[in-house]
Chain A
Amino acid sequence: MKRDKPTTHRAPQGAPTRRAWLTGAAGASAAAGLGLQPTAAQAARQATQAHIVIAGSGLAGIAVAHRLQGLLDGAKITIIDAKQVHNYQPGYTLVASGVWPVDKVIDSNASLQPAGVQWLREMVAEFDPAANTVVTAGGQRIRYDYLVVAVGTHQDWAQIEGMDTKAIGQDGLASVYPSSDAAVATWAAMDRFRQKGGQAVMTLPATPLKCAGAPLKMTFMVRDRLAQAGTLGKSQVTFYSALPNVFGVKAVNDNVLERWQALGVQVQYTQKLKAIDIGARRATFVNPEGAATEVPYDFIHVVPPMRAPDAVKNSDLAWKEGPMAAGGWLEVDKDTLQHRRYKNVFGLGDINGTPRGKTAATVKKSAPIVAQHLADVIAGRAPGEKFDGYTSCPLIVREGSAMLIEFDYEGRLTPSLPMIEPLQESYFAWLMKVRLLKPAYMAVLKGRV
């Protein structure tokens, strides 16, 4: 078993370093000027020799690493993830609908790693929380004092018989979810489809999803592209939901359904995609009673069922009972995002087994809370601030217009600014989606907002 040694050049416990004093003074001045004066507890960095392991280097992993650096002095922080490319996943729907070129969603992960944080370029293969250890795919055993799990989701394509993600882009097969390449291929398939028109089938599985608005956006956009191409008259767009609704927030669900009715988009409920014959362009759906329906299509957008990655699902960190157990999601307290049984473990981002919230906006709101809670636990304090489940979805309704929907765990609409009408389609929401949200994402990633 490998035990990582603490880093050197540490300040004595409780004594801020000169750098910490200078950083604190400069930060306090700037914050005071902006009216963002932090509390006394937040202003000084907390001295610690703890080893914090962050599993995952997506938005959540990198953002919390930056945040922890700002809160802790002397902590050893290790990010574990083999991913070399950082994908701006909120931009996938724009790539997949022909709005953005793909280079806007691709960054080098190396360029985004926080300075001073160790990056171990391996995947986590196993979590052993009883031994405070993670095991990498290469067999390294890494001990930690504190752990942040931010490994995202596993797309369970194997649940769809006949599905082959490598075939996306061919034979009318599309999916925005697997990768930036798949988003490009999806646009190629959509572009070909709109020239002739035909039957478009859009799917939604019954599992928790990351960016649950993406299937709706793709539906709005394929309908819009057909209208632009003049082939809408000889086309039909049908949304097959495995659930009794199309979106988990009732107000949004009802609004979208009203819009789709006006736009001629049909909806089939409790129809789960069971199998697909890519070459023959036929999809098979089953209802809860097990009755199968075969549906021919010219274009299909497939959304994969999702669950926790095996490393979490097969570990003691996963929910053992309740609605999140089947997917093996991380068993965290929804208010504190602290693991319910292992108090030195926190969850952040899509992996969390919480009622809602698998978007970048969720990370924006929760990363500072998790970092503060972890610092609190290191200092022997109980996590204080409650996370309300904030999630946001700029829901594109056509090229040039969107709705800026924000909501919490309870499904209440919670606009950040009082003047924003969440269910009002608007240019401003579109502008945010296409021009402003990636800069905001980068600021979140760097731990500033």
Chain B
Amino acid sequence: MYEIWLAMNIVYEIALGIWPLLALLLSVWVALLVAARGRLGARQVRQALLLGALVAVALFFSVPTLTQSSLSNMGYWVDWANLLAIALGLGALAAVFSVPLLGLAGGRK
């Protein structure tokens, strides 16, 4: 349990360091959701999931390099599991963010 609490605090501190960017992204996302209301459906969700999956795949291969390491430094299964979790988590965020964008791009249902 302590480790969960620690992990939550780490995420909180990281967010605290970039909160203006996060606030901006959240505002943009909410504005996009409002603008796209009435244009969102299952199709946009499917497209967003596909986009999120593509982002996750891209991140899976690029996150080590972006953190001054490389795939050759993957030592054991804990490394792969963490990399997968990071890629899937950020991919999911990308999917959520893209839903209203896809709604706007696709026109009225």
Please give the residue numbers on chain A whose beta carbons come within 8 Å of chain B beta carbons, in ascending order: 34-36, 99, 399-401, 416-417, 419-421, 424-428, 430-431, 434-436, 438-440, 442-443, 448-449
Give the residues in chain B near A435, CB-CB below 8 Å.
67
A34-B4, A427-B74, A431-B69 known; A449-B9 Cβ under 8 A: yes
CB distance from A220 to the nearest CB of B (A): 13
Top 7 A-B pairs, shortest CB-CB distance:
A400-B69, A439-B13, A426-B75, A443-B9, A400-B73, A401-B73, A427-B79
Q: Are A442 and B75 in contact (CB under 8 A)?
A: no
State the interface size on chain B (CB cutoff 8 A).
27
Indicate if B27 sits at the interface (CB-CB under 8 A): no
Give the residues in chain A near B78, CB-CB below 8 Å.
419-421, 426, 428
* Given A421-B78, A436-B10, 20 new contacts (CB under 8 A): A36-B5, A399-B69, A401-B73, A401-B75, A426-B78, A427-B64, A427-B73, A428-B75, A428-B79, A430-B68, A430-B69, A430-B73, A434-B67, A434-B68, A439-B12, A439-B17, A440-B6, A443-B9, A448-B9, A449-B5
Give the residues in chain B near A424, CB-CB below 8 Å.
75-76
A36 interface neighbour in B1, B10, B67, B82, Cβ under 8 Å: B1
Q: Which of B3, B9, B73 counts the most A-chain CB atoms under 10 A from its CB?
A: B73
B6 interface neighbour in A401, A420, A438, A449, Cβ under 8 Å: A449
Give the residues in chain A near B2, CB-CB below 8 Å.
36, 449
Q: Are A430 and B6 in contact (CB under 8 A)?
A: no
Given the complex of chains A and B, what is the CA–CA distance between A246 and B101 in angstroms?
A: 57
Q: Are B70 and A400 in contact (CB under 8 A)?
A: yes
Q: Are B68 and A400 in contact (CB under 8 A)?
A: yes
CB distance from B84 to the nearest CB of A (A): 12
Q: Are B6 and A443 in contact (CB under 8 A)?
A: yes
Given the complex of chains A and B, what is the CA–CA distance between A16 and B9 in angstroms?
A: 28
Given the complex of chains A and B, what is the CA–CA distance between A436 and B82 in angstroms?
A: 13
Given the complex of chains A and B, what is the CA–CA distance between A416 and B1 in angstroms?
A: 11
A419-B78, A421-B78, A439-B13 known; A427-B5 Cβ under 8 A: no
Q: Which of B9, B12, B17, B64 counts the most A-chain CB atoms under 10 A from its CB?
A: B9
A–B pairs, 15, beta carbons within 8 Å: A36-B2, A99-B68, A400-B70, A401-B69, A425-B73, A427-B73, A427-B82, A428-B75, A430-B73, A431-B82, A440-B6, A440-B9, A440-B13, A443-B6, A443-B12
Q: Are A427 and B3 in contact (CB under 8 A)?
A: no
Please give the residue numbers on chain B whose beta carbons come within 8 Å of chain A beta carbons, in ascending order: 1-6, 8-14, 17, 64, 67-70, 73-76, 78-79, 82-83
Q: Are B10 and A443 in contact (CB under 8 A)?
A: yes
Residue of B nearest to A436 (CB): B10
Q: Are A426 and B13 in contact (CB under 8 A)?
A: no
Residue of B nearest to A442 (CB): B13
Residue of B nearest to A439 (CB): B13
Give the residues in chain B near A399, CB-CB below 8 Å.
68-69
Give the residues in chain B near A35, CB-CB below 8 Å.
1
CB distance from B36 to the nearest CB of A (A): 33
CB distance from B33 to the nearest CB of A (A): 28
Given the complex of chains A and B, what is the CA–CA distance between A427 and B76 in angstroms?
A: 9
CB distance from A259 to the nearest CB of B (A): 13
CB distance from A60 to the nearest CB of B (A): 18
Q: Are A443 and B68 in contact (CB under 8 A)?
A: no
Given the complex of chains A and B, what is the CA–CA distance between A35 and B3 in angstroms?
A: 12
Given the complex of chains A and B, what is the CA–CA distance between A426 and B14 in angstroms?
A: 22
Given the complex of chains A and B, what is the CA–CA distance between A416 and B68 in angstroms?
A: 25
Q: Are B67 and A428 in contact (CB under 8 A)?
A: no
Given the complex of chains A and B, what is the CA–CA distance between A36 and B9 in angstroms?
A: 14
Given the complex of chains A and B, what is the CA–CA distance between A400 and B76 in angstroms?
A: 14
A439 interface neighbour in B9, B67, B70, B83, Cβ under 8 Å: B9
Give the residues in chain A near B11, CB-CB below 8 Å.
439
Given the complex of chains A and B, what is the CA–CA distance between A448 and B5 in angstroms?
A: 9
CB distance from A289 to the nearest CB of B (A): 42
CB distance from A12 to the nearest CB of B (A): 34
A419-B78, A427-B83 known; A443-B13 Cβ under 8 A: yes
Residue of A nearest to B79 (CB): A427
Given the complex of chains A and B, what is the CA–CA distance between A443 and B74 in angstroms?
A: 28
Give the residues in chain A near B69, CB-CB below 8 Å.
399-401, 427, 430-431
Q: Are B75 and A425 in contact (CB under 8 A)?
A: yes
A34-B5, A424-B75 known; A431-B67 Cβ under 8 A: yes
Given the complex of chains A and B, what is the CA–CA distance between A355 and B10 in angstroms?
A: 30
CB distance from A397 to the nearest CB of B (A): 10
Give the residues in chain A near B10, CB-CB below 8 Å.
436, 439-440, 443
Given the complex of chains A and B, what is the CA–CA distance between A109 and B14 in angstroms?
A: 19
Residue of B nearest to A431 (CB): B67
Q: Are B75 and A427 in contact (CB under 8 A)?
A: yes
Residue of B nearest to A419 (CB): B78
Given the complex of chains A and B, what is the CA–CA distance between A421 and B74 in angstroms?
A: 13
CB distance from A194 to the nearest CB of B (A): 17
Residue of B nearest to A420 (CB): B78
Give the residues in chain B near A449, CB-CB below 8 Å.
2, 5-6, 9
Q: Are A439 and B75 in contact (CB under 8 A)?
A: no
CB distance from B12 to the nearest CB of A (A): 7
Q: Which of A35, A417, A426 counts the most B-chain CB atoms under 10 A from its CB?
A: A426
